[in-house]
A and B are shown apart, each in its own frame.
Chain A
Amino acid sequence: DSGVTQTPKHLITATGQRVTLRCSPRSGDLSVYWYQQSLDQGLQFLIQYYNGEERAKGNILERFSAQQFPDLHSELNLSSLELGDSALYFCASSGGSNTEAFFGQGTRLTVV
């Protein structure tokens, strides 16, 4: 158990819809990272937040947005969903006394 919690574990939705993925970082970690992994594809960095502020942005679509709340949990919002958005979405956190990042078990999103 990495200590990073992601909900829901599975999500099935229709094209055009909007969903919110949630991530609770490890206790004491201030940084949260979001990654997307499509079928048989690598892990693509989407965005990072540190203590509520955006720190780095990767190949995140304009239809996607994220935020980190005062209690440090983070949400990734995906809107106007397309079939190609079907993927595993991972959240990771780091900070405190450790420099390594720890990953959650992911949310599997299926767009039908």
Chain B
Amino acid sequence: DVKVTQSSRYLVKRTGEKVFLECVQDMDHENMFWYRQDPGLGLRLIYFSYDVKMKEKGDIPEGYSVSREKKERFSLILESASTNQTSMYLCALSSQVNYGYTFGSGTRLTVV
């Protein structure tokens, strides 16, 4: 089975801090995604990547950036954390031959 590992389950950060959320896969899947989940708003796509060093904006990229220097690792960066970025962050990946996503366990980020 494909494994998607998110480095932290719970994080508490202060307003203005730079925050790094890491996502690592143990397979060779090309497509990786970062979502945030908020009550009543569902899953919203922040950024995604189809390959190393490639990135594309999703629906809500403002306040975020990403990095994909190696195929197995996709990082989400909050340049200056704000309280409205308190959320559950989910990393997902898929292969080119399968539409299904495999999700990580999520990181619950609280910005105070």
Partners in one complex: no
Q: Which residues of B contact A (CB under 8 A)?
A: none
A residues whose Cβ falls under 8 Å from a Cβ of B:
none
